[in-house]
Amino acid sequence: MKQIQTRREFLIKGCRLGLACGALAFCPKLNLPGKDPGEEIPDPKKRNYCGYICPDDCPLYVATIEDSPERKKEAYTMFEIEERHGVAFDPEQIICYGCKADDEPQGIIVNRCKVRRCAIENGYDCCIECNNLPDCEFDLWERFPEFHKEMIDLQTKYTAARKKI
């Protein structure tokens, strides 16, 4: 049986719908991991060496800033540091200020990142500058093949934009 809506209910629903539509119309695009919402031409300097854009609320970064052993332990478990790197929990090594923060101490993940090391050795700000990216077989790309594909697509966009300059 169809329920009859009162005028008040109709107006409330209409206002909610209007607010939702207005918010969608005026809010910037969602900032999904690895994506910069306003980025028309990818800027390697604004990205990590692998191309990722770390969120401000990254558990390891937050734990580092807060210098919280409890949060560092959570991040240690979440990022499978013992399994991947064979390192026992040490709050002094479980830190991350970002892979491009050269003026800060580097934790175990940043120190052992092969992608970062390769980019630095080859003088790149980001992997999207490297012609070997599509064939690169570093652990990161094997663990996250969709991210690898996304970075290859970003590289194509970056290369096309540079040819126009």
Mean pLDDT of the region 26-44: 57
Q: Which two tokens stand for residue 74?
A: 């959570």
Indicate the number of domains in the chain. Answer: 1
- Give the angle subtended at the CA of 105 by the CAs of 47 and 76, to the nearest 5°: 80
Residue 8 covered by a domain: no
Its domain, for residue 60, covers 30-164
Residue 19 covered by a domain: no
Residue 23 covered by a domain: no
Residue 47 covered by a domain: yes
Residue 10 covered by a domain: no
Residue 3 covered by a domain: no
- Give the angle subtended at the CA of 57 by the CAs of 56 and 62, to the nearest 5°: 100
Residue 18 covered by a domain: no
Check pLDDT > 90 for residue 39.
Answer: no
pLDDT digits (tens, 9 = 90+) for 59-101: 999 999 999 999 999 999 999 999 999 999 999 999 999 999 9
Contact by Cβ (8 Å): 71, 77: no
pLDDT digits (tens, 9 = 90+) for 130-154: 999 999 999 999 999 999 999 999 9
Please report how many Cα atoms fall inside a 13 Å half-sphere around the Cα of residue 107, on the Cβ side: 26
139 CB-near residues (< 8 Å, 6+ apart)? 114
The whole-chain average pLDDT of the chain stands at 83
Confidence of residue 41 (pLDDT cuts 50, 70, 90): confident
Residue 17 covered by a domain: no
